[in-house]
Amino acid sequence: MTSNDSTASSSTPPPDKEAIDLEGQTTNHKVSHIENHAADPDLIKIGDAWVSRLELIHAFGGTLNPGLATAPSRKFANPAPLGLCAFGLTTFVLCMANVQARGVTNPSVVIGCAYFYGGFIQLCAGMWEMVLENTFGATALSSFGGFWLAFGAIETDAFGIVSAYGDDINGLNNMLAFFLIAWFIFTFGLVLCTLRSTVAFFLLFFTLDLAFLLLGIGHLYPTDGGAPNVGVTKAGGVFGLLSAFFAWYNAFAGLATKENSLITVRPIPMPWNLGYRATKTKSG
């Protein structure tokens, strides 16, 4: 049966189907109740539509897709690896200064990355994710693109943001802490959306969330001289570095194919991943 046939049959579902409720109860949510066709194992029902498994996008960090979804209707290249690389590289450069690698404490070089790569390029990737009908990818990449643009503005003297506080170092530290903790709260919401994805996809946002939290705490409890708490900031930098490497890992997963690489990434699903549980239930 072709994909068009499977879609057309959505209005009159086949009678010989077996229902698999992944939550143990019936629900109207699009992807929390999955039905497998008993006669044709290639067909799976999401919501009211029967589609081929080949037409489904599974939870995968390489496409920034946190769950089962139908393939996008538009022909467009995958922008997720570009956005992930922009995020990963900019985060890596900043966090190397946060952990004071080789004694470096001045992160000014990252400003260029924050504006042009982590900021502008990642924002563009987020807009392209929107074209691909990927709400999660569009929200995540566009938001973190905005984060890097905001960070670049804070670190740029011409904007006068830091100088506006004058000698009020305590006020500046508190506002920077509020800024970072706000991003911690936002990222925590993204973490919840990746709980049914893959291990690497989840760890990308989980380590990033911890980095935001620790960096925010570093500004909330500065040293007597007003500098951020070095120990906490270094810990935040370590989690930031881990997040950067997970971003690169997911980017590579989205780039590497059997046609262009001798090494490809096999996604490791979370134990409660919808597609994984449907497969286990079907095999059982």
pLDDT per residue over 160-206, tens digit each? 999 999 999 999 999 999 999 999 999 999 999 999 899 999 999 99
Q: Check residue 59 and give its pLDDT.
A: 72
- Helices and strands counted in the chain (H then E): 9, 6
Per-residue model confidence (pLDDT) at position 26? 39
Q: pLDDT confidence of 272, banded at 50, 70, 90?
A: confident
**In whole angstroms, how large is the CA radius of gyration of the chain?**
22
CA angle 123, 256, 130 (to 5 degrees): 30
d(CA 91, CA 173) in angstroms, rounded, equals 21
Dihedrals phi, psi of 266, to nearest 5 degrees: -100, 115
In angstroms, the CA 213 to CA 181 distance is: 6
The DSSP H or E segment spanning 144 is helix 135-155
Residue 22, pLDDT > 60, answer: no
pLDDT confidence of residue 19: 40
Strand 17-21 versus strand 56-57 pairing type: unpaired
What is the pLDDT of the chain when averaged over all its residues? 84
> Among residues 189, 208, 186, 176, which one has the least CA distance to residue 91?
208
Give the predicted TM-score (pTM) of the model: 0.77
The 10s digit of each residue's pLDDT in 74-128 is: 778 899 999 999 999 999 999 999 999 999 999 999 999 999 999 999 999 999 9
pLDDT digits (tens, 9 = 90+) for 237-253: 999 999 999 999 999 99
> Given phi > 0 = left and psi -120 to 50 = alpha, else beta, which region is 2?
beta
- Give the DSSP per-residue string, 93-128: HHHHHHTTGGG----TTHHHHHHIIIIIIHHHHHHH
